[in-house]
Structure 1
Amino acid sequence: MDARPEGRRAGRVTAARTRIVGWVLLLVLASLGVVTLVTWMLLIDETDSRIDEALHSEIAEFARVAATGVNPTTGQPYGSVDEILRSVIAANVARPNETIVGYLDGEFRRESRRSGPQVLLQHDPGFRALVADVRTPSGGSYPSGSGEVRWSALPVGLAGDPATGVIVIGYFTEREHGFANEAARLMGLVGVGTALVTAVGAWLVAGRILRPLRDVAATARTITGTDLSRRVPQHARARDEIAELAGTLNAMLDRVQSGAQAQRRFVDDAGHELRTPITIVRGHLGVLNPRDPDDVAGTVALVDDELERMNHLVSEMLALTRAEQPALLRPEIVDVAGLTRELFGKLTALADRDWQLESVATVRARLDPHRITQAVVALADNATRFTGPGDRIALGSEAVGDRLLVRVADSGPGVAPEDHRRVFRRFARGADAPRSDGAGLGLSIVEAIATTHGGRVRLESTPGHGATFTLDLPRSAP
């Protein structure tokens, strides 16, 4: 046995599963990347806002202290600008990643004590050139050797002292951004771990999702021209698109199986029933004396009679095959009262009987009027075969809840209890049935029409007291 087709099918299923996992993983990574980036940007923005607020607050505090003109440590008035710088800077311990620098007449004077690592700006000539000689409160950003510095400067002066000083507060923003960077890195690591877990989960879920498709493929491979009984497994609680696909495929297989069975029965029945007249014709033709005109005329009459019987048999088998096909049903909204009266008018022409219209259902129903007419005419024709001139045959229709009942009753000899089911079989007749030209398919056709409408045929009969055939149909045909 060649295993390559199975291998190719397994490879296709695995490829589909891999694509599903790949797309899920891509979406998860993209989502986590966007979340990480947005979170990092928000943290950076919050840090920068906090730095700006701290710079503004501390510069305002230094300006207030300098404006009083009194040294808060000694309680004496300031004697020089240099004393102001020394007092203000010495009284403040810089925060981590913060520095406070004082300049006097454009030259570095002192720098604050720090609780964090030493990052000195006093030796940076570029920074000194930027801030040492400002004459108004200023602020900005400077790219130092230790990264970006966000700064604010406050010029300081004192009456009676010609010297000018500048107090500068600087924050090393890249170090302040360290928390945001670390948070983004941790989010990235967690995101990678989450993506791996998601990939494993997606692989398992994809397998469960694709399992019904594998069932569909496996079922399709087991279906052959001689075995159409296999169906795709369906879970009672499944309500998704794949379950709908399985249901649709099973319904299609039901229709295909029904058509194949009808075709097979047609072929079997035709072969069985046509064999007898063919044998009769061949037997008489084999002993025909062509020189005897009477023998030729009798044989021709017999052959013509058998051919006519064969034609009638084939017609009835075709009618039965069509009646068994739900796809050939053409339901429409019908006025049952009008249909009943129309049927009664057609039935009275079948034979010389006491035709009676017992009841009429004044409702509307969804059914195929042509099929119902065919079934009722077949029931009435069957009734005429078991009754004589003047015998009673009644037609009636009645609505009971959501059901529609159409009855044909006769006053004939009735049907024996043991024949109630047998009379609906193909080519079957009751034990007391008279000989007729029919093939024994009339009631089979009636039952097939009722079944395709979603209903059934009921027989109520007592020997010697007639029979009543009832089409029990839903008022809305499928």
Structure 2
Amino acid sequence: MLVALAVVTFVTWRLLVRETDERMDLTLEAEVFEFRQIVESGIDPRTGEPFDTVAAVLETVITYNLARPNEKFLGYVDGEYRYQSRIEAPVLLSEDRDFTRLVGSVTEPASGRYESGAGEVRYLAVPVTLDGDPRSAVAVVAYFADQEREAAHHTARIMLGVGALTVLLAAAGAWVVAGRILRPVRDVAATAKGITERELSGRIPEDGRGADELSDLVVSVNAMLDRLENGVAAQRRFLDDAGHELRTPITIVRGHLEVLDPSDPRDVRETVALVDDELDRMNRIVSDLLLLARAEQPQFVRPQPVDAEALTSEIFDKVRRLGDRSWVLETSARVDALLDPQRVTQALVALADNAVRYTGPGDRISVGSQLAGGELRFWISDTGPGIPADERQRVFERFARGTAGARRSDGAGLGLSIVQAIATAHGGSAVLDSVPGRGTTVSLVVPARLAPPDVAGTDDDSATPELPTDDPMPSTPSGGRS
């Protein structure tokens, strides 16, 4: 900006100076033209009589023409100063002997520049002769060029002053604006410095300035930090959970191996069976923990068009072989929806396995699905002992077991956590409804994202898929239904 203002000021100043010089040259030529008209006419315009001497010609020419500011008329006779205009001047050229010698005795019209005590003088000297008068005379028009250019210099000084003030104000404004603009960058650097292995909660302040590149940067960096914190938290949970749950079977195995009597075949067989059982349990725990860790990754579920009614029937056929129970398929949602059939099957099989663990032979376990209120529900309902109200939230936590089922279950307490993770990955939730002594119903509730007609295989591509509503699922567990 400073360079631009300097260039503009310099160019403007040079143009004004050139315009002033051109005006002085034109004025000099105009004055000389008027001199020549008067001399060539030979008539004194004041008296109407012919001139009798060159001195009279000079006096008439100088007094007849009105000198402008910074302009000077002079007359010389036989190389000596004789007349000048009455306008005051910075210096008296009439007393400058060098200037007198330069212009006082010219025999041909001459123009040029002369450095006087007041600076540059631009002049034009014209010799004057008259028949009948042997003396020679010279009429001179002079301009004090530096004084005439003072207006251009003054304009340039004003432009420089205004430009300097403008640059200062612009610099101050730029300092403030740049500070505000770069503040998010400094916040990014400060936040990055504050991020450590154990402290990942720091975030860059979002001032809500609207949509711009730096706001997008802040949002993107905060989102990256969220993903990083979630990833590290998942890793820590996995390590904590693995260490917490695997420590017990390892201790059991080590304790039995330490007291093992190699010479007693029965003791060896029992110890090997116990170790094998504990290794199976450890393998299941590790598999469940890895599944929960993958549940926090974006590609955990892969939605695809699925016939919910056919999926419900397939799941029912699979879970009915888990135990000797009274299996019932209550209802099926007749809709093509976008979901991951493998993960839904995995969740319902885990729920059915829990239902088998907490019920006895001949007890009722029902399976069903329905579409209502824009949500697709899959559920497993049993007539087991139920879950007390104070434990219904805790059972979805990792390694948590209900007191009613603690005696029966040999699992790690990760089943409902896996179900919750699958529901969350679909954008839904796991809902538990239980009445102690009458049974439990656990539902996998996901948003009903309907498959496009062309993908789902509908004949009429222009038809808009409707949300059919099945019979509402009873709100009480199966054990309370007739």
Would the alpha carbon gap of residues 54 and 420 (structure 1) be closer, same or farther in structure 2, given more than 3 Å must change? farther
Would the alpha carbon gap of residues 396 and 81 (structure 1) be closer, same or farther in structure 2, given more than 3 Å must change? farther
SS of corresponding position for 2:17: helix
Question: Counterpart of 2:198?
Answer: 226
Shift of 1:239: 5.5
Q: Distance in 1 between matches of 2:305 and 2:370?
A: 11
Shift of 1:48: 2.1
SS of corresponding position for 2:120: strand
Q: Distance in 2 between matches of 1:442 and 1:57?
A: 110
Question: Counterpart of 1:264?
Answer: 236
Question: Counterpart of 1:176?
Answer: 148
Matches within 5 A, 1:1-400: 27-28=1-2, 30-66=3-39, 69-102=42-75, 110-120=83-93, 123=97, 124=99, 127-128=102-103, 132-134=106-108, 140-146=111-117, 147-152=119-124, 167-188=139-160, 211-237=183-209, 241-326=213-298, 335-337=304-306, 340=308, 343=311, 347=315, 350-352=318-320, 357-361=332-336, 372-385=340-353, 386=355, 392-395=366-369, 400=374
Deviations 1:425-464 (A, max 9, x none): 11234555594564332332343345456x3304163645
SS of corresponding position for 2:49: coil
TM-score of the superposition, structure 1-length normalised? 0.73
SS of corresponding position for 2:319: coil
Shift of 1:285: 2.7
TM-score of the superposition, structure 2-length normalised? 0.72
Q: Distance in 2 between matches of 1:100 and 1:399?
A: 105
RMSD: 4.1
Structure 1: tracts of 5 or more residues without a match: 1-26
SS of corresponding position for 2:263: coil
SS of corresponding position for 1:350: helix
Q: Is the 8 A contact 2:294 2:300 kept in 1?
A: no
Q: Is the 8 A contact 1:360 1:398 kept in 2?
A: no
Q: Which amino acid aligns with 1:441?
A: L
Deviations 1:359-392 (A, max 9, x none): 3246xx7xxx6xx345312322134222689954
Deviations 1:82-101 (A, max 9, x none): 43322111223423321223
Structure 2: tracts of 5 or more residues without a match: 321-326, 357-361, 451-482
Q: Is the 8 A contact 1:456 1:473 kept in 2?
A: no
85-94 or 118-127, larger mean C-alpha shift? 118-127
Shift of 1:307: 0.2
Of structures 1 and 2, the larger Rg is shown by 2
- Bigger helix share: 1
Shift of 1:159: 7.4
Would the alpha carbon gap of residues 49 and 392 (structure 1) be closer, same or farther in structure 2, given more than 3 Å must change? farther
Aligned-residue sequence identity (percent) comes to: 44
SS of corresponding position for 1:358: coil
